[in-house]
């Protein structure tokens, strides 16, 4: 398999083996899939489908078929359906029900229908055993890689195995309280992680550090104008909103009745995950104070290499140069 590296964008894959009754067969044709910008997906140089706002367009011999996806609050594809041209009726093409961490229920939702041309070359929706099932985007809206019996999801920067509810590649950013293989902050009913890099709430808020509930607590405090009663004391959460520039220097401090919060100059809230430095416990901040020291990607790459660590996953995310 070949994949894009700098942005975690997969550009293609080649399958040079197959599984027949549990036995890997290495001889036979090579299947090649290409992923083009905009979601156009080709197999062996033939266009299979491309996305539209509510699903995808299936390409068949004698026409095209519009498929609509019903997704839940996490972006999981639950039902796919389309209009059968031969009967002018809506038909369910596939149903997906998942265990919390993404493993699909079996036995009662395995029937699949697809667009194909019948013996009269009419476009229909029906079960078709000989028709390839090319659209495999399901949990978190990501593609299920079932080649060679892997059955893992190809997220943007790493692979996820729903059978063990863990990533198969460790998190490039170490969190003190979580395993580097932990998925969705152990809360898959509330968070998704289609990127493989950060947990995301259903409204698209990304939590790049700290606990997933920190953002909710801050939102609640902002709406109610109250501080967090679960804190040790109000003195440990001074009422400041601190703005920091790209060099880590505090440029503005706004007094209010909420715990410390940190923002960049674009107004994006910053979250920190550093067990040695709890910035919210510092009594006061002033303009000109330094919150952190920025480091270039080349300097970070050099430090990672000198520490004897493998910078591969950071480079996959585009956070390291080739140093």
Annotate 250-280 with b (16+ C-beta within 10 A) or e (fewer). beebeeeebbbbbbeeeeeebeebeeeeeeb
Distance of CA 1 to the CA centre of its chain: 20
77: closest CA among 50, 97, 105? 97
65: closest CA among 117, 9, 3? 117
Handedness of CA 3, 101, 128, 27 (dihedral sign): positive
Residue 219: band (very low, low, confident or very high) from pLDDT cuts 50, 70, 90: low
Parallel, antiparallel or unpaired: strands 261-264 and 240-244: parallel
Q: Which tokens sit at 97?
A: 């029900």
> Which has more confidence, 22 or 321?
22
Q: Which tokens sit at 200?
A: 């995301």
Length of the chain: 323
Are 146 and 136 in contact by the 8 Å Cβ rule? The answer is yes
Are 262 and 270 in contact by the 8 Å Cβ rule? The answer is yes
Are 187 and 212 in contact by the 8 Å Cβ rule? The answer is yes
Rg of the Cα trace of the chain?
Answer: 24
Query: With 80 as the cut, is the pLDDT of residue 283 above it?
Result: no
Helix H or strand E segment including 117: strand 114-117
Q: What is the mean pLDDT of residues 17-43?
A: 75
Q: What is the pLDDT of residue 278?
A: 52
Query: With 60 as the cut, is the pLDDT of residue 296 above it?
Result: yes
Residue 132 to residue 128: CA distance in whole angstroms? 9
Q: What is the DSSP letter of 297?
A: H
Q: Which tokens sit at 135?
A: 């659209």
Q: What is the DSSP letter of 30?
A: P
Q: What is the pLDDT of residue 223?
A: 64
Are 70 and 58 in contact by the 8 Å Cβ rule? The answer is no
Q: Which tokens sit at 21?
A: 């009754």
> Which residues touch 136 (CB under 8 Å, ≥6 apart)?
143, 144, 145, 146
Residue 28: band (very low, low, confident or very high) from pLDDT cuts 50, 70, 90: low
Q: What is the pLDDT of residue 202?
A: 66
First to last CA, the chain: 25
Please state, for a pLDDT cut of 90, what percent of the chain lies above it.
31
Mean pLDDT of the chain: 77
Segment 224-278, tens digit of pLDDT: 665 544 433 333 444 578 888 888 888 888 876 556 778 888 888 877 655 455 5
Query: With 80 as the cut, is the pLDDT of residue 80 above it?
Result: yes
Q: What is the mean pLDDT of residues 294-299?
A: 74
pTM over 0.85: no
Lowest mean pLDDT across 129-138, 167-176, 192-201, 290-299: 290-299
Residue 184 phi, psi dihedral angles, 5° rounding: 60, 30
Residue 151 to residue 183: CA distance in whole angstroms? 16
Are 151 and 103 in contact by the 8 Å Cβ rule? The answer is no
Query: With 70 as the cut, is the pLDDT of residue 310 above it?
Result: no
Q: What is the mean pLDDT of residues 187-195?
A: 90
SS3 81: strand
Please state, for a pLDDT cut of 70, what percent of the chain lies above it.
69
Lowest mean pLDDT across 4-8, 83-87, 236-240, 246-250: 4-8
Are 314 and 172 in contact by the 8 Å Cβ rule? The answer is yes
Residue 187 to residue 48: CA distance in whole angstroms? 35
């Amino acid at each position: 398999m070949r994949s894009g590296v700098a942005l975690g964008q997969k550009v293609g894959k080649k399958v040079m083996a197959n599984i027949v009754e549990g036995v890997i067969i290495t001889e036979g044709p090579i299947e090649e899939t290409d992923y083009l910008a905009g979601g156009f997906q080709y197999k062996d140089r033939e266009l299979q489908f491309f996305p539209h706002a509510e699903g995808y367009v299936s390409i068949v011999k004698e026409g095209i078929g519009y498929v609509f996806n019903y997704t839940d609050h996490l972006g999981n594809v639950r039902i796919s359906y389309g209009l059968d041209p031969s009967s002018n009726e809506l038909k369910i093409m596939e149903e997906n029900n998942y265990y919390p961490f993404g493993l699909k229920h079996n036995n009662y939702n395995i029937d699949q229908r697809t667009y194909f041309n019948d013996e009269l070359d009419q476009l229909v929706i029906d079960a078709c055993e000989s028709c390839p099932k090319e659209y495999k985007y399901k949990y978190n809206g990501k593609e299920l890689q079932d080649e060679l019996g892997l059955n893992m999801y190809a997220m943007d920067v790493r692979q996820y195995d729903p059978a063990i509810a863990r990533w198969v590649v460790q998190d490039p950013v170490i969190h003190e309280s979580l395993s580097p293989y932990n998925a969705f902050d152990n809360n898959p009913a509330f968070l998704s992680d289609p990127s493989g890099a950060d947990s995301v709430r259903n409204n698209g808020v990304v939590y790049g550090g700290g606990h997933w509930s920190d953002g909710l607590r801050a939102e609640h405090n902002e709406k109610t104008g109250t501080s967090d009663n679960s804190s040790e004391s109000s003195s440990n959460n001074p009422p400041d909103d601190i703005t920091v520039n790209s060099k880590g220097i505090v440029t503005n401090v706004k007094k209010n009745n909420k715990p410390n919060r940190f923002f960049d100059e674009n107004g994006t809230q910053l979250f920190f995950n550093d067990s040695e430095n709890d910035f919210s416990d510092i009594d006061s901040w002033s303009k000109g104070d330094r919150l952190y020291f920025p480091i270039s990607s080349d300097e970070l790459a050099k430090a990672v290499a000198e520490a004897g660590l493998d910078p591969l996953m950071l480079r996959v995310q585009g956070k390291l140069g080739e140093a």
